Amino acid sequence: MTDLYRVLGVSPRATGAEIKSAYRRLARKCHPDVSASPDANATFARINEAYHVLSEPRLRAAYDRGGYGESRRTFYASRDAEVVSLQREFDRMVDEMIAHDRQEAAARSHAVLLVVPLFVSTFYVMAAKPTFIEESRLIGRLLIIALALYGLVYLIRNIGLVLARYTYHVPDHLTSVFREEAPQDKPISRKAGLSFLIVGYLVSMALGYVVGRNPGMGLSLSTAMSVFLYPPIAVLIIGSIRRISTFLERY
């Protein structure tokens, strides 16, 4: 007889919560929609059966006594409709988990493609000291400034979305209480998130200035303007490329 505990990778003394957690982990990995294994269907069926038995106290007790084989035949013979319904519930649960994982991956990608271009472009501007603004005519300067302002709005709005997704915020008079019950899905505080962004931006500026051409020279007005104008444009460009890519993937 198949060792159902081994199928789920849990101990015979595992709690109901541990069994459910093991099932969710294996379902994400072995579901036929995400697994490339040729026997994914059979593997997932074994995982489903193991979870069904071990998550139900009566069936688990029968299995532990060694009498599950007979009760299994009786159960499936008399309750086919319920088994089909249960399988549909398993499929729905797994589909929700897969959808949740995809949403989490998209959210992480959004955060990375916002922060990394901001820091890298700031470093590049300070290191390369571009002179586009100085060399441009009036209309070119106005276009750069307009694009930078639009990029700044885009940057601020999306930073707000990332902070709302990954940071928690409460009024100061509740801070001492809130620290004991910080949300598990939001790892850091709003202040810590903002501090990371500000410090990262300043460090990128400093590193770029140090490794740039003629670091001994003072900071020119053109470079000072560039470090505030170009990074929002870079973030806007990367964000637009990401949106276009996401749009094309749907078709």
What's the DSSP call for residue 170?
Answer: -
What tokens does 37 get? 């294994």
- Name the E strands within 130-182: 167-168
In a domain, 83, yes or no: no
State the residue for tokens 């870079």.
Answer: 234
Last residue within a domain, chosen from 29, 44, 78: 78
Asked if 143 and 205 sit in the same domain, the reply is yes
In a domain, 94, yes or no: no
**Taking the CB of residue 29, how many other CB atoms lie within 10 A of it?**
14
Asked if 35 and 147 sit in the same domain, the reply is no
pLDDT tens profile 73-119: 444 444 455 555 556 666 676 677 777 777 888 888 889 999 999 99
Between the alpha carbon of residue 127 and those of residues 140, 205, 214, the distances in Å are 23, 8, 9
What tokens does 128 get? 């390369």
Q: Is the pTM of this model over 0.85?
A: no
- Distance, in Å, from the CA atom of 101 to the CA atom of 79, rounded to the nearest integer, reads 33
Amino acid at 169: H
H-only helix segments in 66-79: 68-78
- Distance, in Å, from the CA atom of 241 to the CA atom of 251, rounded to the nearest integer, reads 16
In a domain, 95, yes or no: no
Asked if 73 and 105 sit in the same domain, the reply is no
Asked if 238 and 139 sit in the same domain, the reply is yes
Domain enclosing residue 143, as ranges: 101-249
| Torsion angle of the four alpha carbons 49, 67, 18, 15, in this order, in degrees rounded to the nearest 10 | 160
What tokens does 83 get? 């088994």
In a domain, 92, yes or no: no
In a domain, 90, yes or no: no
What tokens does 59 get? 């069936």
pLDDT tens profile 225-247: 888 899 999 999 999 998 888 77
Asked if 74 and 134 sit in the same domain, the reply is no
pLDDT tens profile 9-19: 898 888 988 88
In a domain, 93, yes or no: no
State the residue for tokens 């074994």.
Answer: 46
